[in-house]
Structure 1
């Protein structure tokens, strides 16, 4: 799979993939960049596929709210009660960027949650109050909202998590921090100063987090952590699970911002990610099948 949307810049540029299966088709939500010399900022576009390889752009989510005027991006989605629930971040507001929620009956046209933004941590001794890169996952009678934030100086990016009861409508008042501290922050050399973009999958009662280590093109690469409770995490590997490509390969600048998609209908898992070979002049989306053996994921050839 190689996909990129050229509609906004006239060159391939798509980031932050997230895939759901809805009404018999695959839908992929992804970030698209600001249009030069036009008002507004980052946005979210939609593509569809019937085989996870060939994708066609079918739409874009227009900014409709005041809090979206500077941009919004980094979609995360889930299907619940016949609707696609989309979680996304505002962008362009520095430490005030926060997580929003919208829902759709067709996967294309979305109604905003009246309480948006639904979540951001209070600024404190470990976080500057920013929340980006939302991933919401149902586990053990709760919904966990994984997000990236920065330290009070705005230098180190790290993971946090909030939770809501299983009967939530995802509104702001339902969310509380599950842990008033980072649940995963950069510690390994290859992670640089950034751990972001968490994507979650459950296997045999445990959660596995595929995350992005290091800032874009540093290079950013994909790591994996595991948890029994959704809150306390440990790394599965010390080295990148999915590394950036070698010089001359399409992803030599990075393999980043993962989304692990579990296709239960066919019993397979696919890791979607973004990459490029020109330090971010272009961005492409791709995927690779992931297998599982003895409680650990591996890349299938």
Structure 2
């Protein structure tokens, strides 16, 4: 005899499934009174995990947080996070705001790469460093990079700095000359260049990644890179925010020429009613000390009224990455 589940129980179970939250579900409420955290980047530093995120202008009247800034959260388990600090804009160059952080640990120092915000074509990549991961000293040559050439508008955002082949590679997003399509490029620097402006050499005279598939819309951005064997794998965001933005993967042997792994997203937005139905975007691939890798990403279900950050574990096989 088959047991029939009451219809009301089925409705309840379906409702719970729809509104279920992921294990990690972080949103900083300190600036707006609602969850709003974007563009995650995670490091392990001095026995703890630090996550750097884009934080919106404050509505509390705090003069140090009137523009976009960078929030800092800490965790002991990569699941539960607590906001511990802000990195506010500093000086005239950053007066309108800063965001889209990338953190790189070199010996006992955290190097933070980020973009200026609100300057349209003139936004560029900046650099600062810290002995504690919280208080940062600016590079006196800021901004350290913006692209040149007929293929680009000159704007540079979404920095990703990665050590490969005895150089630092700077992956960045820019736009085409009419500022409509988000595309990507790359520059390199010697390891001993101090991340100064004069140390960077642009290594492309055309985009290294462009939107080409329907799901990517008019945007490829937010590179995050990891090396596995002889390959570099780039996790990137396709489409502008909430279009929906989703995550794709490309691979390269030299960091300059990239091949997309699929014409479909690697990580999609959620189904209607789920926490990330509006998007799953701006990825960061993080390798933990035990070798396990996690994909951090931003999402929401209200077209950007709120923003949360979550993660999912990524496995690897001969074909590349897969979602566990």
Residue-by-residue CA offset, 1:187-245 (whole Å, 9 max, x unaligned): 01100000000000000021000000000000000000000000000001210000000
Residue 34 of structure 1 deviates from its aligned partner by 1.2
In the alignment of these two chains, the number of paired residues is 298
The CA distance in 1 between the partners of 2:272 and 2:90, in whole Å, is 42
Task: Say which of 51, 55, 58 aligns to 1:28.
Answer: 51
Partner of 1:170: 195
Q: Residue 245 in 1 paired to residue 270 in 2?
A: yes
Matched position secondary structure for 1:255 = strand
Matched position secondary structure for 1:74 = strand
Task: Please list every run of 5 or more consecutive structure 2 residues that lacks an aligned counterpart in the other structure.
Answer: 1-23
The CA distance in 2 between the partners of 1:36 and 1:184, in whole Å, is 37
Task: Say which of 77, 90, 107 aligns to 2:133.
Answer: 107
Task: Say which of 293, 296, 309 aligns to 1:269.
Answer: 293
Residue 115 of structure 1 deviates from its aligned partner by 0.2
TM-score by length of 1: 0.97
The CA distance in 2 between the partners of 1:239 and 1:159, in whole Å, is 19
Q: Residue 213 in 1 paired to residue 238 in 2?
A: yes
Task: Please list every run of 5 or more consecutive structure 1 residues that lacks an aligned counterpart in the other structure.
Answer: none
Partner of 2:9: none
Would you identify which runs of 4 or more consecutive aligned residues in structure 1 move more than 3 Å? 36-40
Q: Residue 46 in 1 paired to residue 69 in 2?
A: no
Residue 126 of structure 1 deviates from its aligned partner by 0.9
Partner of 1:70: 96
TM-score by length of 2: 0.91
Greater percentage in helix: 2
Aligned ranges for residues 12-27 of structure 1 at < 5 Å?
A: 12-27=35-50
Partner of 1:59: 85
Q: Residue 199 in 1 paired to residue 246 in 2?
A: no
Residue 18 of structure 1 deviates from its aligned partner by 0.1
Task: Say which of 162, 172, 182 aligns to 1:137.
Answer: 162
Matched position secondary structure for 2:133 = coil
Partner of 2:178: 153
The CA distance in 2 between the partners of 1:189 and 1:62, in whole Å, is 37
Matched position secondary structure for 1:77 = strand
